[in-house]
Chains A and B, each alone.
Chain A
Amino acid sequence: KAGVTQTPRYLIKTRGQQVTLSCSPISGHRSVSWYQQTPGQGLQFLFEYFSETQRNKGNFPGRFSGRQFSNSRSEMNVSTLELGDSALYLCASSPSDRAETQYFGPGTRLLVL
C-alpha cells in the first residue's frame, strides 16, 4: 500500500505571498490532519478533515485554511505568508481519527524569505 504523499517537498516563498500544499492520503483513509513542525514550537496541530468536513481545528490564525476533496485528498493554504510560517508541514491520514491509526507523510518544508 502506498504511503501518504505530500507535494511539493520543498518550497521557497517570500513574505506576503500565499502557498498551497497538497496531501494524498493512504487509499481508504478518510481522515486527513495537518501539522506544523518548527524547532521552537515543536509539532502543532492545524486542522483535521473527515469526509470533506473540518472536524477539529488547532489554535492557528485564519490565514491557515484547508479543504478536503471527495477522493480524500487535502490541500492546505496559507495566505499572506510571514517569516514565522517557515516550517515543516506534515500531513497525516487515518481510517478514523484515532491517534494510533495515524500515518504521517514526509512533509513539505516551507521557507519564507
Chain B
Amino acid sequence: QKEVEQDPGPLSVPEGAIVSLNCTYSNSAFQYFMWYRQYSRKGPELLMYTYSSGNKEDGRFTAQVDKSSKYISLFIRDSQPSDSATYLCAMSANTNAGKSTFGDGTTLTVKP
C-alpha cells in the first residue's frame, strides 16, 4: 500500500461548482502538506502549503488538514475552466523538498 493515496478521478464538474480533492496518508510523521496544480505539458506549480492540522485559505482555494484522520483536502470554490488540470497532493515530515511523498494526482475538468 502506498504511503499517500489520492482519489484517482478523473473528475468532471460544471463551471461554478465547488470541487473537493482528497488524499489520505499512513505516515503519522507527516507534518507539511502541499497541493500542486499541473497543467498538461507543464511542471507542477505549488498552490497551497500548510503545516500541521487546520485550514488555510487563498482566494478560491482552501486546504484542510485533519491529522487525526490522516486526511487532507483541497476545496475549489466557484470553479473555472482554467482550473482544469491535474492536482497533486504531497506531504513531508520536514520542510525539505526532496523528502516529499506525492499522490498520483486527480485530473479535474471544469466544463463551461
Residues of B within 8 A of A39 (CB): 104
Tally of contact residues, A, Cβ under 8 A: 26
Residues of B within 8 A of A94 (CB): 97
Interface of A is mostly: strand
User: CA–CA, A39 to B88, complex, Å?
Assistant: 12
Contacting pair A48 B43 (CB below 8 A): no
Q: A43-B88, A90-B44, A104-B45 provided; 5 other pairs, C-beta below 8 A? A: A48-B97, A56-B96, A98-B95, A99-B34, A107-B43
Interface residues of B, Cβ cutoff 8 Å to A: 32, 34, 41-46, 49, 88, 90, 92, 95-100, 102-105
25 of the cross-chain contacts (CB-CB < 8 Å) are: A31-B97, A33-B97, A33-B98, A42-B102, A42-B104, A42-B105, A43-B90, A56-B98, A58-B98, A90-B44, A92-B43, A92-B97, A97-B96, A98-B95, A98-B96, A98-B97, A99-B90, A99-B97, A100-B46, A102-B46, A103-B45, A103-B46, A104-B43, A104-B45, A107-B43
